[in-house]
Each structure stands twice: as C-alpha cells, then as structure tokens.
C-alpha cells in the first residue's frame, strides 16, 4: 500500500524504527526526505500536515500521524497479519508500552541530552548527562536479565524501537560490552529484525554527520 507518505531523514533513529516496522509488516512507504538543516520541515505545506513539524510523520490515505512509537503501534494494529509485533493481551501490551516509554523518555532522551548540546551547540560534554546514559543502560541490562527479547518471548515493536536507539549509541565511542545482556540482545536483534540493513545504512549517515562535527571542533 504505497498510499502511505513517509516524511523522514535516514539518519534519524525514530525514523529508522518506522522503516524497520513497515518492513516487518510488508507495508510500502512512499518516502519523502525532509532536510531539517535546510528548514524543509517548516514549510507551510508540511506544518499543515503536522503542526508540530517533527519527523517521522506518516500520511496514510489522508490520515496524518507523528511520534514514532505511536506510528509503530498504528502500523501493527492496522496492517499486521497477526498481532505478534504488538500482542492483544493487556499485560504483554503493557510491558511493550512501558519499554516504548522507557525508550522515549529515558534512553533516547539520555542520548539527546548528552550528545546534541555537543554537536549542535559546541557545548562541552556534561559528565552528569553521561551518567544518565549509564543509568539507562543499567536499567535496560536488568530488563533483559534471562530474556532474549525486550518484552515477552518474541520480537515486538519494543525491540524494534529500542534497536533503532541502541544502534545509534554504537556510532559514538559508547561501549555496549559494559552491558552484557544488552550486547547479547543487540547481536540477536540485528539478525531477526527485518530492515536491519536499511537501519545500518541510515546510521552511517548519522555517523558521517557526527564525525564531521567532532572534526570541526
């Protein structure tokens, strides 16, 4: 179904989670790159679709939605051939939701709070913000104790969303090996998640951008 427009940037972690989920569901995305550096997200025609002017944004037959984790749930509920990526069982669903909120509010936020000020505003690294990253990975490591997947016993959108985020940390000098459960999960998640290759290609875009920022310091 390519009546689904997808406004994105390949380097963005939340955008990559949507790409992988769409791939897992066999949903075709009509990809439209939005260059944030050039301010393309502020054009009136995009603000009309998404007044918050953020990516990723989808428009599915006229229905507009943004916030990557809301998009993941929508895609599975609307296009899943079964509910394996987001089970109907209230408790299983609750654990997936908790992981998604943890990703958004704790893990991905720790990445943004530590790295963005350095790369966007040339601020010095803040050790307190780095400690928040370590705390977040500590929690993640505990969630994965004796578990192969983030929530339950199979791949879900919790894995896909967190895979987009965790993989983003790997392009910095962050050591996953300090968190053995996370490292073990990460190795497996790469193998079992549809669209991993495209996620990796997008990451290389991010890495290029990161490296250019470091070298220009």
Q: 216 catalytic, yes or no?
A: no
Transcribe 94-162 into DSSP letters: HHHHHHHHHIIIIIHHHHHHHHHHHHHH-PPP-HHHHHHHHHHHHHHHHHTTT-SSSSTTS--HHHHHH
Question: Is the CB of residue 19 less than 8 Å from the CB of residue 189?
Answer: no
Q: List the catalytic residue out of 2, 12, 110, 216.
A: 12
CA 195/CA 21 separation, integer angstroms: 8
Residues that are catalytic: 12
């Amino acid at each position: 179904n390519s009546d689904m427009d997808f406004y994105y940037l390949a380097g963005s972690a939340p955008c990559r989670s949507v790409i992988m989920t769409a791939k897992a569901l066999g949903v075709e995305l009509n990809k439209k790159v939005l260059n944030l550096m050039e301010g393309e997200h502020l054009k009136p025609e995009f603000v009309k679709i998404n007044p918050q002017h953020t990516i990723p944004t989808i428009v599915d037959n006229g229905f507009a939605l943004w916030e990557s984790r809301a998009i993941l749930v929508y895609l599975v509920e609307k296009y899943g051939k079964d509910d394996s990526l987001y089970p109907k069982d209230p408790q299983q669903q609750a654990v997936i939701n908790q992981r998604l909120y943890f990703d958004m509010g704790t893990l991905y936020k720790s990445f943004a709070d530590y790295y963005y000020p350095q790369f966007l505003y040339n601020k010095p690294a803040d050790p307190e913000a780095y400690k928040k990253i370590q705390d977040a990975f500590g929690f993640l490591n505990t969630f994965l104790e004796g578990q192969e997947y983030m929530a339950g016993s199979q791949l879900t959108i919790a894995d896909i969303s967190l895979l987009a985020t965790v993989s983003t940390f790997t392009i910095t000098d962050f050591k996953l090996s300090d968190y053995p459960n996370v490292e073990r999960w990460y190795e497996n998640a790469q193998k079992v998640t549809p669209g991993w290759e495209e996620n990796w290609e997008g990451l290389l875009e991010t890495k290029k951008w990161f490296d250019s920022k470091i070298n220009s310091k």
